[in-house]
A and B are shown apart, each in its own frame.
Chain A
Amino acid sequence: MRDLDGPMIIGVLLLCGIGLIMVHSTTGGSGSDTSDLVVSQLIRIAFGLVALLFLSRPSLRFWQVIAYPAYSVTLIILALVLAVGETRGGAIRWITLGPLLLQPSELAKVTTPLVLAVFLSGRSRESTWRILGLSALIVGLPLFFILFQPDLGTAMVLAPVAIVMLWWAEVPLLTLFSLMTPLLSMICAFSLVSWSGLMIVVVVVLRRAGAGFSRFATVIVSCIATGLLTPYVWELLEEYQKKRILTFLNPGLDPRGSGWNVIQSKIAVGSGKIFGKGLMHGTQKGLAFLPEQHTDFIFSVIGEEFGWVGTHLVLGLFFLILWRGIAISGICRSPFARVLVLGYTVIIAVEVVVNVGMTIGLLPVTGLPLPFVSYGGSHIIAALAMIGIVQSLKRNWKETS
């Protein structure tokens, strides 16, 4: 127990506790199934904490050995989901394993960085492009399945994680930047003004970083290509995804449709003011205004009932966990541990930023839960498992391979 990182564990426990209270608040008051949700959340947290303790035990070597088998199993399950998964809320994300309802994309969040870390820590002498290509394959395989479910949220988490891990594994920033430019070009492709602006930025950055002609040409050509392709791909997107992206860009477009969530969530958070309306006293929540309030929009309820103080307490705890994550990554001697700890840290960071950003109107609605806090089984267990593995890596920080 004393090998655990105190501040990180305390932060995690507090967040889990806050989550329980908020799940009780959002579902409490009237129904009899209220306590059921709190109890099942409690069981999952307990299960996750046991997993955390269990996973904090193994040696560094164990993780390196288990990485590829675990990854393979993940891929098989992901493929199975597409075949026999259960549909919920318009997407097939679930698979029934006995009594447990498993969300395999959560499993992918744990195993993909693991494999990537193993891969990156053993390939320093190979060419950057080869590393990049294989990394893309490692991330791309599960990503492919996940996008097909479709689960835009989880897919959105894995991509930045891979990029940060590559950066951490000493792939030059310029290379990563070059890789990202086509993606940005895609995003900007819908408006000539923004796309032109992006191209100017790209040219300036490449010039200042002293990029060679071949790189310069490749980047520009790929940017133009993606910029042209995007409108075509757009047509292939699911209607609800298009709608979500559009209403993110302009929530006023459809105040009763997709923009509804964002507007209502902002009203909830904003109306909490400094100290909030008090536990169980949220009116937005009380009248079932917020959709999916105990899962994806739990942060809105925190904002409404506990105000600025509440939101900053939660953000503060996350900041503490993430800060410790970066610190642990820094002290580890083995590159594998360093990259993996950072990878998990980034996963949690992205989830927090995307979820909170969504509830306060900074980012589109993607259906990502708030780690440790939102109601739900798989994501809590996955997050606690990641924290457990981080503890194990921290315990073995002196190991170098």
Chain B
Amino acid sequence: MRGFASPGESDREKRQAGARALLVLLFLLLSGQLFYLQILKGDHYLELADENRVRPSLIRAARGVIYDRNGKVIARDRAASKIVLNPAYGADSTNVRFLSSLLRADEATIWEKIDWAKSKGLMAIIDHDASFAQVSRVEEQRDKLRGVTRRLSLRRRYLPGGAVAHVVGYVAEVLEAEIGGEYPYERGDLIGRAGLERRYESLLRGKNGLEFIQVDAVGRELGPLPERSAIPAIPGRDLKVTIDLDLQELAWDLLGSDRAGAVVALDPRRGDVLALVSRPTFDPNLLVGGVGHEFWEALNSDSLFPLLNRPIQCTFPPGSVFKLAVAAAGLEEGIIVPGRKAVTCTGAFRFGDRVHKCWKRRGHGSVDLYKSIVESCDVFYYQLGLSLGLERMGSWAHRLGFAAKTGIDLFHEKAGLFPSASWYNRNYGRYGWSRGVNVNLAIGQGEVLVTPLQIARFIGAIGNNGIMFIPHIGVESFDRSTERRMVFWEPQGKKLPLSEKTIRLLQHALLGVVEDEHGTGKRARIPGVHVAGKTGTAQNPHGDDHAWFVAYAPAEDPVISVCVLVERGGHGGSTAAPIAREILHLWLKKEGLLPESDAVRETSRDA
């Protein structure tokens, strides 16, 4: 035998036994691990395998559509493409660079979104509303991207944009604190944050469904799992509101983009809010889903507060408009006796050591109630205010609906203020004020504060023979899944404690404001129809006067009452009245209350 030194048979046996033992040992190790994986932990791994390939995926319920009184769409959900990245799969530089080149988006911005989502353990939404071109580029390169999915999402769209911003409000994604527990929300759901969207949240909100999506190893969705059927989403109910979009947009245009102000138009017979406009405004579409930090900052730091819904959330001194309420009080209290020329206006009124001027320096001469309203004489009301006193004026202000919320179906309505003696004591001290405040309050200056909505409602009530309705916007819901229509609001009116006579006198005077040749509201005249109104110019301690104009038409049987407030607009008669006129004109035309020939003449003149 060449080679090995004749190996001992036993040595060879030993090595062979050793080799066999080693083989058995190795295979036992493998078998042991297999026993552990497949027998002991089999159920656990089976569960993991199921989780692995199935991802429950929400089917977002569409929010209800908001329609105006004629069925025009104000707000509706629109299908949008979201580009979503799962940070667990796709958060690496090559992938992100590739994605950014496909989306033509800034790489750093994408990383910001990924890092944020990562820190929250969420999917990163790279683009909320990707364009068709972006989507098709991403879809084309789907196989080369990791963890990137296109999701169909619903995006709230406010078609009239800024014109309806304040009344409709806007939606935003729910906050972390609003998820789970008592809240019916899931992450990424939209919630109404302002306006009708917030007020009718429970009605507009739908119920999300659930589907089971298969995914592959790199997080790409493969489609729904065939063996588990989806739970369909239930869309939210549609909401029909009293707003007339044409009127709303007209009022919005008339106020103009460079002015701050408010317009309220009501149907005095029902309390329907026909238009509720606030300037300056914002585009609610830009607030939907993922608004930039800077945008919010800009909105909040704007000195004109564009987020405020001025008709209900801002209070102003009513100025001469308030004279109506004081006049009503004077009539009811028997201080004004109709037909008697009670006051002589010399252009100034001395009370104590102060001289209160009338707006007309030369004075109005002999002034009765009619003239006091038509020509808006201040001196008449200085005396009336003193005669009435603080308590009686306050009591009538409250009885006529001031210094209290109107009950409109929007949140954050302001009540306004009519100061009482205790209010003065509290704010100015026991001896810090005098009876002289009555002089100012009687012409709507000083501490009295009202909202444009209160004024519109009040003037409407006068025109409506003293019956005042609660202003209301939402009236009807429609459930798309059950096809059930439900009217959930019936007009609620109450009679103001004013006598028939008082109302007739006020109505007559209001008509004179517009139709009388000496009237301050002549610019609100509409040929062929009688318009009743009242101008107001409220002193503004911060700058130019606020211009008020309130009106209703037709004077005999009003179908609309309107209140126009232009902040720092100067004289109500010159700034606010023409706006009110256009609004009344459009509505009367829509209601068929404009004589045909006049309508033709009007349009030709416009052109």
Residues of A within 8 A of B (CB): 121-125, 164, 167-170, 256, 260, 264, 266-274, 283-284, 286-291, 303-304, 307-308, 311-312, 315, 318-319, 322-323, 326, 329-330, 335-336, 342, 349, 353, 356-357, 360-362, 400-401
Interface string of B1-31 (1 = CB under 8 A from A): 1111101000110011001100100110111
Q: Smallest distance from the beta carbon of A171 to chain B beta carbons, Å?
A: 11
Q: Does B89 lie within 8 Å of A256, measured CB to CB? A: yes
A-B contact pairs, 14 of them (CB 8 A): A169-B4, A170-B4, A256-B88, A267-B52, A268-B49, A273-B39, A274-B42, A289-B53, A308-B38, A311-B38, A319-B27, A336-B3, A357-B30, A361-B37
Chain B contacts for A323, CB-based, 8 A: 20, 23
Q: Is B557 an interface residue (CB 8 A)?
A: no
Chain B contacts for A283, CB-based, 8 A: 49-50, 52-53
Q: How far is the CA of A303 from the CA of B217 in the complex (A)?
A: 19
Known contacts A124-B3, A283-B53, A312-B31, A272 near B42 by CB under 8 Å? yes
Q: Does A289 lie within 8 Å of B34, measured CB to CB? A: no
Chain B contacts for A125, CB-based, 8 A: 5
Q: Does B217 lie within 8 Å of A307, measured CB to CB? A: no
Q: How far is the CA of A303 from the CA of B30 in the complex (A)?
A: 12
Known contacts A267-B45, A323-B20, A361 near B4 by CB under 8 Å? no
Closest to A349 in B: B23
Q: Does A269 lie within 8 Å of B38, measured CB to CB? A: yes
Q: Does A271 lie within 8 Å of B49, measured CB to CB? A: yes
Q: Is B496 an interface residue (CB 8 A)?
A: no
Q: Does B46 lie within 8 Å of A167, measured CB to CB? A: no
Known contacts A270-B45, A330-B16, A400 near B53 by CB under 8 Å? no
Partner of B52, one of A284, A319, A342: A284
Q: How far is the CA of A169 from the CA of B11 in the complex (A)?
A: 11
Closest to A356 in B: B30
Q: Does A319 lie within 8 Å of B39, measured CB to CB? A: no
Q: Does A271 lie within 8 Å of B3, measured CB to CB? A: no
Known contacts A124-B3, A289-B52, A269 near B23 by CB under 8 Å? no
Known contacts A121-B4, A167-B15, A400-B1, A271 near B42 by CB under 8 Å? yes
Q: How far is the CA of A330 from the CA of B20 in the complex (A)?
A: 11
Chain A contacts for B52, CB-based, 8 A: 264, 267, 283-284, 287, 289
Q: Does B37 lie within 8 Å of A353, measured CB to CB? A: no
Closest to A167 in B: B15
Within 8 A of A (CB), among B493-547: none
Q: How far is the CA of A273 from the CA of B35 in the complex (A)?
A: 9
Closest to B214 in A: A287
Partner of A168, one of B2, B15, B38, B43: B15
Q: Smallest distance from the beta carbon of B9 to chain A beta carbons, Å?
A: 11
Q: Smallest distance from the beta carbon of A139 to chain B beta carbons, Å?
A: 19
Chain B contacts for A268, CB-based, 8 A: 45, 49
Chain A contacts for B38, CB-based, 8 A: 269-270, 272-274, 303, 307-308, 311
Q: Smallest distance from the beta carbon of A159 to chain B beta carbons, Å?
A: 16
Q: Does B45 lie within 8 Å of A289, measured CB to CB? A: no
Q: How far is the CA of A169 from the CA of B222 in the complex (A)?
A: 57
> Which 10 residue pairs are nearest across A and B when measured between Cβ atoms?
A270-B45, A273-B42, A271-B49, A270-B37, A271-B46, A308-B38, A271-B45, A121-B3, A289-B217, A124-B4
Q: Does B23 lie within 8 Å of A267, measured CB to CB? A: no
Q: Does B215 lie within 8 Å of A287, measured CB to CB? A: yes
Q: Is B480 an interface residue (CB 8 A)?
A: no
Q: How far is the CA of A164 from the CA of B216 in the complex (A)?
A: 43
Q: Smallest distance from the beta carbon of A343 to chain B beta carbons, Å?
A: 12
Given contacts A271-B42, A329-B16, A362-B30, 20 further A-B contacts (CB under 8 A): A121-B2, A122-B2, A170-B11, A256-B89, A267-B49, A268-B49, A270-B38, A271-B46, A272-B38, A274-B38, A289-B52, A289-B53, A289-B217, A308-B35, A311-B38, A315-B27, A318-B27, A319-B27, A353-B30, A356-B30
Q: Does A330 lie within 8 Å of B2, measured CB to CB? A: no
Question: Which of B4, B214, B216: most chain A CB closer than 10 A?
Answer: B4
Q: How far is the CA of A267 from the CA of B43 in the complex (A)?
A: 10
Q: How far is the CA of A270 from the CA of B41 in the complex (A)?
A: 7
Q: Does A267 lie within 8 Å of B16, measured CB to CB? A: no
Closest to B86 in A: A256
Q: Is B228 an interface residue (CB 8 A)?
A: no
Chain A contacts for B7, CB-based, 8 A: 170, 335
Q: Does A269 lie within 8 Å of B217, measured CB to CB? A: no
Instruction: State how many residues of chain B have any CB contact under 8 Å with chain A.
Output: 42
Known contacts A284-B52, A326-B20, A342-B19, A315 near B37 by CB under 8 Å? no
Q: Smallest distance from the beta carbon of B13 to chain A beta carbons, Å?
A: 8
Chain A contacts for B16, CB-based, 8 A: 326, 329-330
Q: Does A270 lie within 8 Å of B46, measured CB to CB? A: yes
Chain A contacts for B217, CB-based, 8 A: 260, 264, 287-291
Q: How far is the CA of A329 from the CA of B7 in the complex (A)?
A: 14
Q: How far is the CA of A264 from the CA of B23 in the complex (A)?
A: 28
Chain B contacts for A335, CB-based, 8 A: 1, 3-4, 7
Closest to B87 in A: A256
Q: Does B4 lie within 8 Å of A401, measured CB to CB? A: no
Q: Smallest distance from the beta carbon of A272 to chain B beta carbons, Å?
A: 6
Closest to B35 in A: A308
Chain B contacts for A349, CB-based, 8 A: 23, 26
Q: Is B33 an interface residue (CB 8 A)?
A: yes
Partner of A311, one of B2, B5, B34, B44: B34
Closest to B88 in A: A256
Known contacts A124-B3, A124-B5, A264-B217, A360 near B30 by CB under 8 Å? yes
Q: Smallest distance from the beta carbon of B215 to chain A beta carbons, Å?
A: 7
Q: Is B48 an interface residue (CB 8 A)?
A: yes
Q: Smallest distance from the beta carbon of B295 to chain A beta carbons, Å?
A: 35
Q: Does B216 lie within 8 Å of A122, measured CB to CB? A: no
Q: How far is the CA of A284 from the CA of B38 in the complex (A)?
A: 15
Q: Does A360 lie within 8 Å of B2, measured CB to CB? A: no
Closest to A289 in B: B217
Q: How far is the CA of A78 from the CA of B19 in the complex (A)?
A: 31
Q: Does B45 lie within 8 Å of A266, measured CB to CB? A: yes
Q: Does B4 lie within 8 Å of A270, measured CB to CB? A: no
Chain A contacts for B89, CB-based, 8 A: 256
Q: Does A360 lie within 8 Å of B23, measured CB to CB? A: no
Q: Does A271 lie within 8 Å of B48, measured CB to CB? A: yes
Closest to B51 in A: A267
Q: Smallest distance from the beta carbon of A358 to chain B beta carbons, Å?
A: 11
Q: How far is the CA of A401 from the CA of B2 in the complex (A)?
A: 7
Within 8 A of A (CB), among B167-226: 214-217, 222
Known contacts A266-B37, A284-B49, A362-B30, A122 near B3 by CB under 8 Å? yes
Partner of A362, one of B33, B42, B214: B33
Closest to A260 in B: B217
Chain A contacts for B20, CB-based, 8 A: 323, 326
Chain B contacts for A326, CB-based, 8 A: 16, 19-20, 23
Q: Smallest distance from the beta carbon of B163 to chain A beta carbons, Å?
A: 49
Q: How far is the CA of A264 from the CA of B217 in the complex (A)?
A: 9
Chain B contacts for A170, CB-based, 8 A: 4-5, 7, 11
Question: Which of A256, A308, A323: most chain B CB closer than 10 A?
Answer: A256
Q: Smallest distance from the beta carbon of B37 to chain A beta carbons, Å?
A: 4
Known contacts A288-B216, A289-B216, A362 near B29 by CB under 8 Å? yes
Known contacts A289-B53, A311-B38, A319 near B4 by CB under 8 Å? no
Q: Smallest distance from the beta carbon of B47 to chain A beta carbons, Å?
A: 8
Q: Does B15 lie within 8 Å of A269, measured CB to CB? A: no
Closest to B41 in A: A270
Q: How far is the CA of A105 from the CA of B4 in the complex (A)?
A: 30
Q: Smallest distance from the beta carbon of B465 to chain A beta carbons, Å?
A: 75
Q: How far is the CA of A318 from the CA of B27 in the complex (A)?
A: 9
Q: Smallest distance from the beta carbon of B39 to chain A beta carbons, Å?
A: 6
Partner of B53, one of A123, A272, A287, A311: A287
